[in-house]
Amino acid sequence: MLKKNALPVATAGRGWIDRISSANNSIANWAQELKAELFAIEGSGGLYHVRFRGELIIQRSRDPEFDLARELLARGFGGEVKIIDALTGKHRSTVNITKAAGLTVKEGAHGPYFAKQTLSDRAPTAETPSPDVGVAGPP
């Protein structure tokens, strides 16, 4: 007979605890699957917005997958993110965040290609103003 509030003792060892722990880890990994929604801006000539976890984190980008990867890496995310078309709900691509964060698309003689991103490829931000910011005009 069990005492009040006593837990039964498993006679088969810790196997059942390991199975529960393993199942919880699988659920946690599934719950952390990263997805982002891609919105094409009509009439913009190829610009996109990207929404991640309800927040619009990329706006008016010609290179949304790589811009998204850089933003997610800066926010501490790693692994892969699935890009979903916001209108159709279909899977468009899967991006490795760490690898894609260092790439950009460049135009070559034979069309666009992936290349390593350099400092000159980055768009000016508040932290890195464009060269003409702060330049005084003629007196």
Q: Tell me how many domains the chain contains.
A: 1
Classify residue 139: in a domain, yes or no. Answer: no
pLDDT reported for residue 23: 46
What pTM was estimated for this model as a whole? 0.63
Can you tell me the mean pLDDT for 23-27?
45
Q: Which residues of 41-75 are buried (b: 16+ CB within 10 A; e: fewer)?
A: eeeeeeebbbbbeeeebbeebebbbbbbbbbbeee
**pLDDT single digits (tens) 70-125:** 999 999 999 999 999 999 999 999 999 999 999 888 889 998 888 898 776 665 44
Classify residue 93: in a domain, yes or no. Answer: yes
Alpha-carbon span 137 to 139, nearest angstrom: 6
Alpha-carbon span 102 to 138, nearest angstrom: 39
Classify residue 58: in a domain, yes or no. Answer: yes
> Residue 38 — pLDDT band, cuts 50, 70, 90?
very high
Classify residue 23: in a domain, yes or no. Answer: no
pLDDT reported for residue 120: 62
> Residue 21 — pLDDT band, cuts 50, 70, 90?
very low
Residue-number span of the structural domain to which 71 is assigned: 33-121
Classify residue 18: in a domain, yes or no. Answer: no
pLDDT reported for residue 113: 85
Q: What is the largest CA-CA distance in the chain?
A: 96
Classify residue 47: in a domain, yes or no. Answer: yes
